[in-house]
């Protein structure tokens, strides 16, 4: 009986990567996996990714459909799949959300799934606050199925020549204020000023003209901060990634924090806001959680209006101090990076994900239809 992954399989986005990781983890654990790509119905981009899965629309009869599409779009996604394909299928909706409360327009998605799966307990708690009767499964993203280049320094090699480099990635279409690139720029500038022995490399996608202008203004005249405005394919991303000394992000909220987990798995010390979904794989032993205060949400895009939620305001001075500490103590960089890689490798692999998502109980339900 096949597993059919439905999602933005060709899209160079976090949700697209989530769908591809889902398929890769199932394949790794020996399942027959088919795919239904609905990315072209949601994204208009030249940066498409080849997923290589057989077309799931060819399969009728019992099966397990794992739909990596968030609540507001679940009904539309299933309409695209069609009743003929969905007949006799057990439907798991895999959702990711970044705050402690779901927006009201997510609730309509509950009627179209047999169960909800999420990448973190943080998201599970948000779903559970709706008092749902549906089962909620916590299945962390299996980032080990598609890793970034591993740090040779963390695994015992020599540190690459060149400036002390901090990498960071964000899709600003996921909300500029939440991703908070200005906070990271401020922390870097506070830590290092115009020191040419250091560098901040940012790969950003999306963002309005005003948001890009705000980033340019925050960077100013320094030549130690580089911004690459692309999303791109995974091979391009790996080439851009290179060999940084650390990864940093001063987000205000994350449902999981996929790039943070990828950086840890690759053996890099991670500096990130110590709140929300990322704290389920980050700790003071394997990374550098940044201090914060929980404040009412101030979102100029109004995406989170009316939820009554709060998010974290990271302490820029604390983050700057951490970056300076990493710059000055390379032994610390190596030791924490080794712990990060070990933690991510054990917690974020294919077996853990599939055991949580499928398991014998869910497999029998799928077979029952």
Question: Is 366's pLDDT higher than 80?
Answer: no
Q: What is the DSSP letter of 221?
A: T
- Per DSSP, helices labelled H in the chain are 14-28, 74-81, 83-86, 121-128, 176-179, 181-192, 209-219, 234-241, 258-265, 316-328, 330-347, 350-357, 359-368
Which of residues 158 and 283 earns the better pLDDT score?
Answer: 283
What mean pLDDT comes out for the span 141-153?
90
Judged by DSSP in three states, 294 sits in strand
Rounded Cα distance between 323 and 165, Å, is 10
- Equal CATH topology for 3-142+349-368 and 164-347: yes
Across 10-14, 43-47, 264-268, least confident range: 43-47
CATH architecture group of domain 164-347: 3-Layer(aba) Sandwich (3.40)
pLDDT band at 364 (very low <50, low <70, confident <90, very high): very low
Are residues 218 and 186 in contact, defined by beta-carbon separation less than 8 angstroms? Answer: yes
Query: Where in the chain are the domains?
Result: 3-142+349-368, 164-347
Strands 292-296 and 310-314: antiparallel
The CB density around residue 171, as the number of other CB atoms within 10 Å, is 18
Rounded to two decimals, what is the model's pTM?
Answer: 0.92
What pLDDT, on a 0 to 100 scale, did the predictor assign at position 233?
74
For 94: left if phi > 0, alpha if psi spans -120 to 50, otherwise beta; the answer is beta
Rounded Cα distance between 337 and 333, Å, is 6
What pLDDT, on a 0 to 100 scale, did the predictor assign at position 237?
83
What mean pLDDT comes out for the span 225-242?
84
Q: Would you identify the CATH topology of the domain 3-142+349-368?
A: Rossmann fold (3.40.50)
Q: Which of 100-104, 181-185, 205-209, 221-225 has the highest mean pLDDT?
A: 181-185
What pLDDT, on a 0 to 100 scale, did the predictor assign at position 140?
97
What pLDDT, on a 0 to 100 scale, did the predictor assign at position 367?
47
Which of residues 299 and 44 earns the better pLDDT score?
Answer: 299
What mean pLDDT comes out for the span 342-348?
92
What mean pLDDT comes out for the span 130-155?
88
What pLDDT, on a 0 to 100 scale, did the predictor assign at position 47?
64
Question: Is 359's pLDDT higher than 90?
Answer: no
Closest CA to 162 of 192, 203, 198: 198
């Amino acid at each position: 009986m096949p597993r059919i992954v439905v999602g933005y399989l060709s899209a160079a986005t976090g949700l697209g990567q989530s769908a591809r990781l889902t398929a890769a983890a199932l394949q790794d654990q020996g399942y027959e996996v088919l795919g239904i790509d609905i990315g072209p119905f949601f994204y208009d981009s030249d940066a498409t990714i080849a997923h290589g899965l057989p077309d799931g629309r060819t399969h009728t009869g019992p099966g397990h459909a794992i739909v990596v599409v968030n609540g507001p779009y679940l009904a539309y996604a299933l309409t695209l799949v069609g009743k003929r394909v969905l007949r006799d299928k057990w439907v798991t909706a895999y959702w990711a959300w970044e705050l402690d409360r779901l927006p009201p327009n997510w609730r309509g998605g509950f009627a179209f799934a047999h169960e909800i799966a999420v990448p973190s307990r943080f998201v599970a708690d948000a779903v559970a606050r709706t008092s749902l009767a549906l089962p909620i499964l916590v299945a962390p993203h299996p980032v080990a199925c598609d890793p970034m280049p591993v740090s040779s320094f963390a695994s015992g090699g020599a540190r690459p020549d060149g400036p002390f480099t901090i990498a960071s990635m964000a899709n600003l279409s996921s909300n500029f204020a939440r991703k908070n690139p200005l906070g990271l720029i401020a922390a870097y500038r506070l830590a290092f000023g115009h020191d040419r022995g250091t560098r901040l490399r940012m790969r950003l996608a999306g963002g309005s003209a005003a948001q890009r202008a705000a980033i340019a203004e925050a960077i100013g005249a320094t030549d130690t901060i580089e911004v690459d405005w692309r999303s791109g394919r995974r091979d391009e991303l790996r080439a851009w990634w290179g060999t940084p000394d650390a990864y940093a992000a001063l987000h205000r909220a994350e449902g999981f924090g996929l790039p943070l987990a990828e950086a840890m798995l690759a053996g890099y010390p991670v500096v990130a806001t110590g709140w929300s979904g990322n704290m389920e794989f980050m700790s003071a032993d394997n990374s550098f959680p940044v201090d914060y205060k929980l404040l009412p949400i101030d979102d100029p895009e109004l995406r989170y209006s009316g939820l009554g939620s709060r998010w974290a305001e990271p302490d820029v001075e604390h983050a700057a101090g951490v970056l300076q500490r990493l710059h000055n103590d390379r032994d610390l960089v190596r030791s924490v990076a080794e712990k990060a890689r070990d933690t991510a490798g054990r917690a974020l692999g294919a077996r853990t994900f599939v055991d949580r998502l499928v398991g014998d109980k869910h497999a029998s339900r799928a077979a029952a239809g």
